Amino acid sequence: MSLPPQFIRNFCIIAHIDHGKSTLADRLLERTGTITEREMVDQILDDLPLERERGITIKSHAIQMKHMAPDGNEYTLNLIDTPGHVDFSYEVSRSLAACEGAILVVDASQGVEAQTISNVYMAVDAGLEIVPVINKIDLPSAMVDEVTKQLVDLIGCKEEEILLASAKTKVGIDEILEAIVDRVPPPAGNFEGPLRALIFDAKYDSYRGVVTYVRIVDGVLKTNDKVLFHKTGKSFLAEEIGILQMDRVPAGELEAGNVGYLIAGVKELTETRVGDTVMLADNPADSPLPGYREVKSMVFSGLYPAQSEHFEELRDALAKYKLNDAAFLYEPETSTALGFGFRCGFLGLLHMEIVQERLEREFGQTIITTVPNVEYKVIKTAGEVVLVDNPAEMPPPTQIDHIEEPYVTAQIICPSEYIGNVMKLCMDRRGIYKNTTYIDPKRADVRFELPLAEIVFDFFDRLKSLTRGYASFDYEYLENRESDLVKLDILLNAEVVDALSSVVHRDKAYDWGRRLSARLRKLIPRQLFEVVIQAAIGSKVIARETISPIRKNVLAKCYGGDISRKRKLLEKQKEGKKRMKQIGRVEVPQEAFLAVLSLNEEE
Amino acid sequence: MEQNRIDSPLGIYVHIPFCEKKCFYCDFYSIENHSQRDEFIASLVSEIGHFSSTHPKLKADTIFLGGGTPSFLKPQEVEQLLKALHEAFDISDQVEFTMECNPGTVDTAHLSEYRQLGVNRISFGVQSFFDDELKFLQRIHTSQEAVEAFDKARKVGFENINIDLMYALPDQPVERHLTNLGRAILLNPTHLSIYALIVEQGTSLYSAVAGGEIQPADDETEAAMYEATMSFLTGTGYTHYEVSNYSKPGRECRHNLKYWNSQDYIGFGPSAHSHLEKDRWWNVSSLKDYISRTHDKVLPIASRETLTQSQILDEFVFLNLRQGKLDLNQLHAKFMFDPDAEFVSKALEAGYFKRSDGILYLSNKGFTVCDEIAKEILTKAIEGRYLAITAGE
């Protein structure tokens, strides 16, 4: 069945979190009859429970709709969903590369946000036609005029090109469908040439193995073709090819311009790479499509089972989880404080949170997470270069010539009255101010260069609270730069707790050590014996706190009726103690390992 | 277990749920409406009979009438109850027969009759010798009435008398508590129960604390008062034999010791708890339910449990520690359980207890954190040993 490209439209939706992307997607599916209202589970594209709860799409999906246009022709519309968060910007860029157009959804009451801007620029760079939509116009707080101006400034469109919609009340849906047909160009490409298909996403299916989502750029992909994944160099048999509707629908072939899936007996997600090019093994194209990039972990942390005997369980859970998240990296490590666990690499902080949460919820793991850190490049006096992704493994100061750390370019959009707060926060975080522009008279776009490590610690929450929740934030890796960094150790009763070590800038080390010790004093419960907390750089102690022994724990009355109750309380307390880590003679609650993250600037 | 415990005499507890007025800190089951007292006595007699039909003539050597306010019972009601108990149990001639008395509800005639009926130990809920403190606790008696009640009991021949006192009342200075202790020992009681005020859930006190109207004593104050109590009373000839209990030598409450030594006891009346070998059960709390169930010839049991070996171990450890000692040899022999040696030596060093012949003896400092020590011992055991017993279940 041949599908003429002039009747295909491939598009995505770009929106900030909560601006209504998922609801709009639902309306399009409903309006085109892809799914009936009755079948509709809210926000159907987000099928992970966590996605629904957080209102963000973690993994991109694709879905095909048929739309009968007023011109009397039936169009095939492929909606390629994109993740909304900066951590997944590479996946966004691959999704964009599979489209010719993008619907830009902006909340009428919120206006343009930082991530919207970065994603729009990515879309513009990718040559996509942008269809601007102001959503939620039914809200009493809608500021259609202001947002219209912002959009005109942002993408240089004409006011009349902006569509007004309310996905919730189903206003403007037809107009959006018309704009997709009229404004988004049909796919171009070499329909005759040797096959080139872009893998823009992949997921693991426990029955079929890896399912790759592809956009055919050149040529035709047929069932039983022998395909070659360019980057990995591996060949597979195309067992099943098809299009994506509510379920996978097998089709004999996919032609240039179309979007669909490919199942080729690939067992592990690592064997397919998002951004890679699928070719025919027997007739490979001369060159791959542009855009493959190795995923790079930016944030690292240790994951440990709360109870050491659950190490094997955690290992199995990580292996299973990894099947569905190629960007997540892990390897075994050992901590003297926490025992056997794993050092894990994440794309960013949100990615880290998602992984932890899914491990706990979907895999039933109780885990202890250490303070996240970035990867340091340590140049030793002997000239040797080592990458350190665990502060505990930092070489002794005498062996270090200098240390480099990753810097990012940060973009913060906030109401003008909060610029002072934002500036102060970024300066406190060793930021280098670059530029401020105004999106409109009330909203500023502030650019800084910041060490990534400074964002990892509680930056976003601080930003939100300093701007009453109005700021939005985006960042991008810039380069590694030399910094005056030191390793700060925490000692409990004179024993170094490796899992609490961190790398900080020398100027901040004293303040940091003092605050971290104070925080730990609050988090570690009083016990039978005194606990001394010390912060130290090398052998030099820079802060000290003492937790005095518990003063009273005895129930006054314990008669016939109290014994069972008392025993049950004891059983509960014993359970509680199991969630504590024993370091030397000190019991440390799990939260303590994340104490650094909750350090408040005011403390 | 090492012996057939049913053969050793058990304790009998009877719960009398009536009070003239509910004290606002009290979480025992009691009610101010006494209209059902006749049905209640009949229910008790029926429950006792019902129990003995399945467990005829078990030996008993302690009886404890608790409440509520047992002294609310008329002597003939006590007699009725006693008759039922004698029919159901084989009660020792050497029985310890305790009755809790509210100093505000006793008169000499009643006390004398109780004595005639065989009651040989009185426990007075004095709580304080300061009238403002009694008022705060919403007690119905005055300090003067408490002294008079004690004298009356002595006069009619009660020799073995306990006094209950409370401390760690909000804003109570240590001196006041010590004055209370002083007043108490002037009466020369054989036994003293000295309790820190506990804010129990479900009491009016709890609501007052939750609402911020009352600020309970802090841990430091409470611990200091507790330590002062221990040194004061042991210095004046009393033996400290349980967290809150002190007695003249040989005058320990034999009934309460059964609770703490995991011996058998049978409780009758609403909310009463029983323990027989590894089983424990407890009655419904509500008087109405209690009466209707016993009326229908159904045992008024709310719930029951059979203790597992690890639960028995838990209770053994914390109940022994509450009596100020833990015999490690016994612990090993009974449970194959040994506390973590490093913990023990560190706690010895810190002065929480002393060790002699494999027995740990709590210091006064140790008593203030007695439950914490139990928790530590039970969680810091050599894991393999502990797993061995739990796996054996």
Residue A596: is its pLDDT beyond 70?
A: no
Average pLDDT rounded to a whole number, residues B173-186: 96
Place of tokens 């340590």: A378
Q: What per-residue confidence (pLDDT) applies to B24?
A: 81
Cβ-Cβ contacts under 8 Å, B263 against chain A: none
Mean pLDDT, rounded, of chain A: 87
Confidence of residue A2 (pLDDT cuts 50, 70, 90): low
Average pLDDT rounded to a whole number, residues B181-191: 97
Neighbours of B254 (CB within 10 A): 18
Q: Chain B: give the shortest CA distance to residue A309, in Å.
A: 12
- Domain coordinates of chain B in residue numbers? 10-260, 309-392
Decide which of A245 and B76 is more confident. B76
Place of tokens 């739990």: B390
Residue B384: is its pLDDT beyond 50?
A: no
Contact B318 A573 (CB under 8 A): no
Q: Chain A: give the shortest CA distance to residue B198, in Å.
A: 7
User: pLDDT > 70: what percent of chain A?
Assistant: 92
Q: What per-residue confidence (pLDDT) applies to A447?
A: 96
Q: What per-residue confidence (pLDDT) applies to B89?
A: 97
Cβ-Cβ contacts under 8 Å, B198 against chain A: 555-557
Q: What per-residue confidence (pLDDT) applies to A369?
A: 86
Place of tokens 């006693």: B82
Residues linked to residue B267 through DSSP beta bridges, in sequence order: B13
Q: What per-residue confidence (pLDDT) applies to A84?
A: 54
Cβ-Cβ contacts under 8 Å, A563 against chain B: 259, 273, 275, 280, 315, 319
Q: Which residues contact A334 (CB under 8 A, 6 or more apart)?
A: A340, A341
Contact B267 A560 (CB under 8 A): yes
Using CA atoms, how far apart are residues B269 and B39, in angstroms rounded to an integer? 12
Q: List pLDDT tens digits, range A522-531.
A: 989 999 999 9
Decide which of A591 and A229 is more confident. A229
DSSP H helices in A126-233: 144-155, 173-183
Residue A62: is its pLDDT beyond 70?
A: yes
Residue B244: is its pLDDT beyond 50?
A: yes
Mean pLDDT, rounded, of chain B: 92
Q: List pLDDT tens digits, range A342-364.
A: 999 998 877 888 888 889 888 88
Confidence of residue B160 (pLDDT cuts 50, 70, 90): very high
Query: Is B10-260 a CATH 3.30.70.940 domain?
Result: no
Q: Which residues contact A348 (CB under 8 A, 6 or more apart)?
A: A85, A86, A87, A298, A299
Decide which of A133 and A112 is more confident. A133
Choose the weakest-confidence range: A262-276, B56-70, B111-125. A262-276
Residues linked to residue B37 through DSSP beta bridges, in sequence order: none
Cβ-Cβ contacts under 8 Å, A564 against chain B: 273, 280, 282, 305
Q: List pLDDT tens digits, range A434-480.
A: 999 998 788 899 999 999 999 887 788 788 889 887 888 888 889 99
Using CA atoms, how far apart are residues A500 and A491, in angstroms rounded to an integer? 9
Single out the residue of A552, A529, A526, A577 nearest to residue B371, CA to CA: A552
Residue B5: is its pLDDT beyond 50?
A: no
Which of B162, B261, B273 has the most A C-beta neighbours within 10 Å, making it the best mutation to test the interface with A? B273
* SS3 of residue A226 by DSSP: strand
Residue A144: is its pLDDT beyond 50?
A: yes
Average pLDDT rounded to a whole number, residues B45-52: 96
Q: What per-residue confidence (pLDDT) applies to B275?
A: 96
Q: Is the dihedral of CA B210, B212, B213, B215 positive or negative?
A: positive
Numbered residues of chain A with Cβ closer than 8 Å to any chain B Cβ: 527-529, 549-561, 563-564, 566-567, 570-571, 573-574, 577-578, 585
Largest Cα separation within chain B, whole Å, is: 62
Q: What per-residue confidence (pLDDT) applies to B126?
A: 97
Residue B381: is its pLDDT beyond 60?
A: no
Average pLDDT rounded to a whole number, residues A312-337: 87
Residue B48: is its pLDDT beyond 90?
A: yes
Cβ-Cβ contacts under 8 Å, B371 against chain A: 553-555, 566, 570
Confidence of residue A323 (pLDDT cuts 50, 70, 90): confident
Q: What per-residue confidence (pLDDT) applies to B385?
A: 45
Residue B236: is its pLDDT beyond 60?
A: yes
Average pLDDT rounded to a whole number, residues B257-277: 96
Q: What per-residue confidence (pLDDT) applies to A307?
A: 80
Return the number of CB contacts < 8 Å for A and B: 105
Q: List pLDDT tens digits, range A362-395.
A: 888 888 888 889 999 999 999 999 999 999 999 9
For the domain bounded by B309-392, which CATH number is listed? 1.10.10
Q: Chain A: give the shortest CA distance to residue B152, in Å.
A: 28
Q: What per-residue confidence (pLDDT) applies to A39?
A: 61
